[in-house]
């Protein structure tokens, strides 16, 4: 089996992608420092795939550690780089934590890949690189605005770092920059899902924890935006759809002519926070106390994707809708509560 290095492989998207890598006949080698993930995930991956994941605990900002993994576990067919902090709100209050972790891990990885002759990189980027887009839906040609948060800015910088290295022909790097919109849901088996440590930053895990009685109520951050119902609009994509896109991206890089492409990964539809809350209640019948509160710093008012380029280049499209993702998220929450 062809080995693929998966940094942040025990995380929410990394674990779901590791499952899809096994399903596609690859052998994922996971790196994770478990700063924002839990070792229970490894058992979940095994329960789904029958494989005991290869996982090395360590920090991707540590060149000595990453270099050793390339030496001991390589050669790798490619690398999927998830390891990063990703909470928009948290990054506003702790920017240096984000600049150090997200930028240094990418620089370390690119250096190690060059040294060990590994040329294919799938990078976990984000729709936050666009800031508040001037027009919607967002295409890959939509110009970057000033990122609304340090998190979004780290993704803009990492994309530029990677595209510059791919352009410097000496490295031979080929890369796909996957700009996720809002990943939600869980594997339908209920063996893996989102495991935020402590109080969730993101909407859907906060909803499921509230419905499970772990939180008192959902606060909807602002209902005075210039949107149809006054609450923010996002493009919520099922995490398994997202995981499948990573395998398709790896396959795409097998063609030597490919250099560096940015691709939006979204459903192409926008849903407001209120719509997500109401859809969750309708789909699950769960009791979900909620109220409207103040806006949250760093929030973009509305954003959703055009995913036409990913459909064209990767022959990939989403198969699961918002309600299925909410059902799978609730199924997962009930198993871990």
- Compute the least distance from the CB of residue 239 to ligand WQD, in Å: 11
In the stretch 119-138, what mask flags binding to ligand WQD with x, by CB under 6 A? Answer: -------xxx----------
The CA distances from residue 163 to 63, 159, 173, 177, 319, in Å, are 21, 6, 9, 9, 30
- Identify the residue whose tokens are 């994922």: 28
Told to check if 329 binds ligand WQD by CB under 6 A, we report no
**Could you tell me which residues come within 8 angstroms of residue 168 by beta carbon, excluding any fewer than 6 positions away?**
none
Nearer to ligand WQD, 70 or 225 (CB): 225
Residue 272: strand pairing partners: 233
Q: Which of 220, 239, 242, 305 binds ligand WQD (CB under 6 A)?
A: 220
What sign results for the dihedral spanned by CA atoms 63, 239, 156, 115? positive
Interface residue with ligand WQD, options 299, 328, 329, 331 (CB under 6 A): 299
Among 94, 296, 309, 317, binds ligand WQD (CB under 6 A): 296
Look at the alpha carbons of 313, 308, 126, 32 in this order and tell me if their dihedral is positive or negative. Answer: negative
User: With contact defined as beta carbons under 8 Å apart, do 189 and 328 qualify?
Assistant: no
Shortest distance, CB of residue 22 to ligand WQD, whole angstroms? 23
CB-wise, 86 or 120, nearer to ligand WQD?
86
Q: Minimal distance in Å, beta carbon 209 to ligand WQD?
A: 10
Beta-carbon contacts of 76 under 8 Å, excluding residues fewer than 6 positions away, are 3, 4, 5, 29, 70, 116, 118
Q: Any catalytic annotation for residue 130?
A: no
Q: Which is nearer to ligand WQD, 211 or 273 (CB)?
A: 273
Does residue 223 belong to the site contacting ligand WQD (CB under 6 A)?
no
Phi, psi of 173 (to 5 degrees): -70, 135
The contact mask relative to ligand WQD for 245-264 (x = CB under 6 A, - = no) is: --------------------
Give, as ranges, the residues between 16 and 75 that touch ligand WQD (CB under 6 A): none
230 sits in the region (left: phi over 0; alpha: psi -120 to 50; else beta) called left
Provide, rounded to whole angstroms, the least separation between the CB of residue 315 and ligand WQD: 23
Q: Minimum CB separation from ligand WQD for residue 318, in Å?
A: 15
Strand partners, 236: 182
Contact status: 90 vs ligand WQD (CB under 6 A): no
Binding residue for ligand WQD, selected from 29, 31, 42, 87, defined by CB under 6 A: 87
* CA–CA dist 268, 252 (Å, integer): 22
- The reply on whether position 318 binds ligand WQD by CB under 6 A is no
278 binds ligand WQD (CB under 6 A): no
Stretch that binds ligand WQD, among 43-51, 80-88, 112-120, 157-165 (CB under 6 A): 80-88
From residue 261, alpha-carbon distances to 13, 146, 191, 217 in Å are 20, 21, 33, 41
Task: Give exposure, 38-57, as e/b (b: 16+ Cβ within 10 Å).
Answer: beebbebbeebbeeebbbbe
The residue within the footprint of ligand WQD, chosen from 82, 221, 280, 332 (CB under 6 A), is 221
The one among 19, 21, 88, 305 contacting ligand WQD by CB under 6 A:
88
In angstroms, what is the minimal distance from the CB of 258 to ligand WQD? 23
Q: Which stretch binds ligand WQD (CB under 6 A): 83-91, 99-107, 132-140, 241-249?
A: 83-91
Shortest Å distance, C-beta 101 to ligand WQD: 13
* Residues in contact with ligand WQD by the rule CB under 6 A: 86-88, 126-128, 180, 182, 201-203, 206, 218-221, 232, 234, 273, 296, 299
């Amino acid at each position: 089996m062809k080995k693929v290095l998966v940094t942040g492989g025990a995380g929410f998207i990394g674990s779901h992608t590791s499952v899809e890598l096994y399903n596609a006949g690859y052998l994922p080698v996971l790196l994770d420092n478990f700063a924002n993930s839990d070792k229970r995930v490894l058992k979940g991956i095994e329960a789904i795939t029958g494989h005991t994941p290869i996982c090395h605990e360590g920090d991707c900002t540590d060149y000595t550690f990453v270099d050793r993994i390339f030496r001991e576990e390589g050669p790798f067919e490619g690398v999927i780089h998830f390891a990063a902090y990703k909470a928009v709100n948290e990054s506003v209050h702790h920017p240096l934590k984000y600049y150090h972790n997200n930028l240094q891990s990418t620089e370390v990885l690119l250096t190690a890949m060059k040294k060990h002759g590994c040329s294919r990189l799938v990078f976990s980027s984000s729709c936050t690189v666009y800031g508040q887009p001037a027009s919607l839906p967002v295409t890959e040609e939509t110009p970057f605005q000033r990122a609304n948060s340090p998190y979004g800015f780290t993704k803009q910088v990492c994309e530029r770092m990677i595209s510059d290295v791919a352009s410097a022909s000496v490295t031979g790097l080929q890369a796909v920059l996957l700009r996720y919109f809002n990943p939600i849901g869980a594997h339908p088996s209920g063996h893996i899902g989102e495991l935020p440590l402590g109080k969730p930053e993101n909407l859907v895990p906060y909803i499921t924890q509230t419905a499970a009685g772990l939180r008192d109520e959902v606060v909807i951050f602002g209902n005075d935006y210039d949107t149809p119902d006054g609450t923010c609009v996002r493009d919520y994509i099922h995490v398994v759809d997202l995981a499948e896109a990573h395998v398709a991206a790896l396959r795409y890089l097998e063609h030597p002519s490919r250099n560096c492409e940015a691709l939006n990964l979204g459903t192409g539809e926008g849903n407001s926070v209120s719509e997500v809350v109401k859809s969750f209640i309708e789909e699950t019948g769960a009791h979900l106390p909620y109220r409207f509160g103040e806006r949250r710093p760093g929030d973009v008012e509305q954003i959703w994707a055009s995913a036409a380029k990913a459909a064209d280049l990767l022959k990939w499209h989403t198969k699961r809708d918002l309600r299925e993702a909410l059902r799978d998220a609730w199924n997962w929450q009930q198993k871990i509560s």
